[in-house]
């Protein structure tokens, strides 16, 4: 199938990045959210990020304006039904995602492909609640979307070959690299990354090291660009906890048990950068460890 138009559900951190890269690659994009403020903020952020690309001579100013013109916004989810490809990038809760697909289903074209940007939830299970499991896939972008090169493509048990090949072509057109993953909890990246972050939190919880010493050790000792606790704050501690719970529930192995300290931070509402506090406090000029 030739994909020309794309619907993006959710204007948050992932949704606006996805809209950005598709518009730059020449697709018509319609982005929706339940809040007009969220849509306005997303459009402003996309413009700022495109301006940054212009200043670094990655794209021309003309390319920027053309990309911005390709993005439209709406508060009405049914309007996305006429797009060729739908990418759901709502909050990482299965009930929310399933309800979105259920509301959208009556308005879809027969040939529209449905995808979810979920980082851990079963694609087979999400697909089974739609009228087109053969045209449903996991389409997992990395954050920040305009910068990160990888896209995980996850086939559910019913996904057909034509859908997979179509999305492989879309990833190529975006100038990114696809990694094909099987539909098991957290796929590839988060199956490996989240237990590492969780172990870093256990290391802090057990008093083996401080926030700063843990992050410095991994940056200078393993050549990681960000320490695991700094990265957890960037991702969102609620997202990290949700993925660890999916791993723990889905694989029934105690090695995936979320650290109690991670749970405690989420209970406190200290979710990282987005709430100004997590393993670091971001309310001053320089981030300060909170433990």
Q: Has 274 been labeled as part of a binding site?
A: yes
**Residue 152 among the catalytic residues:** yes
The answer to whether 71 and 42 have CB atoms below 8 angstroms apart is no
Interatomic CA distance for residues 146 and 16, integer angstroms: 10
Q: Has 33 been labeled as part of a binding site?
A: yes
**Residue 140 among the catalytic residues:** yes
Interatomic CA distance for residues 128 and 221, integer angstroms: 45
Question: Which contiguous run of DSSP H or E holds residue 40?
Answer: helix 36-55
The answer to whether 273 and 265 have CB atoms below 8 angstroms apart is no
Residue 289, φ and ψ in degrees, nearest 5: -55, 145
Active-site entry in 88, 190, 198, 230:
190
Give the chain's domains with CATH numbers: 5-182 (3.40.50.720), 191-289 (1.10.1040.10)
Taking the alpha carbons at both ends of the chain, their separation in whole angstroms is 52
Dihedral angle, C-alpha 268, 273, 276, 279, nearest 10 °:
50
The answer to whether 9 and 88 have CB atoms below 8 angstroms apart is yes
Interatomic CA distance for residues 216 and 185, integer angstroms: 30
Active-site entry in 49, 116, 119, 120:
119
Bridge partners, residue 153, by sequence: 139, 180
Residue 138, φ and ψ in degrees, nearest 5: -85, 135
Sequence-ordered list of residues with C-beta below 8 angstroms from that of 285, at least 6 positions apart, any chain: none
Q: Has 17 been labeled as part of a binding site?
A: no
pLDDT digits (tens, 9 = 90+) for 19-48: 999 999 999 999 999 999 999 999 999 999
**Residue 128 among the catalytic residues:** no
Question: Which contiguous run of DSSP H or E holds residue 136?
Answer: strand 136-141
Q: Has 213 been labeled as part of a binding site?
A: no
Confidence of residue 261 (pLDDT cuts 50, 70, 90): very high
Assess whether pLDDT exceeds 90 at residue 113: yes
Interatomic CA distance for residues 207 and 29, integer angstroms: 48
pLDDT digits (tens, 9 = 90+) for 120-159: 899 999 999 999 999 999 999 998 999 999 999 999 999 9
């Amino acid at each position: 199938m030739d994909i020309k138009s794309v619907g993006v559900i959710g204007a948050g951190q992932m949704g606006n990045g996805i809209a950005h890269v598709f518009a730059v690659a020449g697709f018509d994009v319609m982005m929706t959210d339940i809040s007009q403020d969220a849509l306005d903020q997303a459009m402003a952020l996309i413009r700022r990020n495109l301006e940054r690309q212009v200043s670094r001579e990655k794209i021309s100013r003309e390319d920027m304006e053309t990309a911005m013109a390709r993005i439209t916004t709406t508060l009405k989810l049914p309007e996305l039904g006429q797009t060729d490809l739908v990418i759901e990038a709502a909050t990482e809760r299965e009930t929310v995602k399933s309800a979105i697909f259920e509301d959208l289903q009556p308005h879809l074209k027969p040939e529209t492909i449905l995808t979810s940007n979920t980082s851990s939830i079963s694609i087979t299970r999400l697909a089974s609640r739609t009228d087109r499991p053969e045209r449903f896939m996991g389409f997992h972008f990395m954050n920040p979307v305009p910068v990160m090169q990888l896209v995980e493509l996850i086939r559910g048990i019913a996904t057909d070959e034509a859908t997979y090949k179509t999305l492989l072509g879309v990833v190529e057109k975006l100038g990114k690299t696809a990694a094909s993953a099987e539909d098991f909890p957290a796929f590839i990246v988060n199956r490996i990354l989240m237990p590492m972050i969780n172990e870093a939190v256990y290391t802090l919880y057990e008093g083996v090291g401080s926030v700063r010493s843990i992050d410095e050790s991994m940056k200078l000792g393993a050549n990681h660009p960000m320490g695991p606790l700094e990265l957890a704050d960037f991702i969102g501690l609620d997202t990290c906890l949700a993925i660890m719970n999916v791993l723990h529930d889905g694989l029934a192995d105690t090695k995936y048990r979320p650290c109690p300290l991670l749970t405690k931070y989420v209970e406190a509402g200290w979710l990282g950068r987005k709430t100004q506090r997590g393993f670091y406090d971001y309310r001053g000029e320089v981030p300060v460890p909170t433990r």
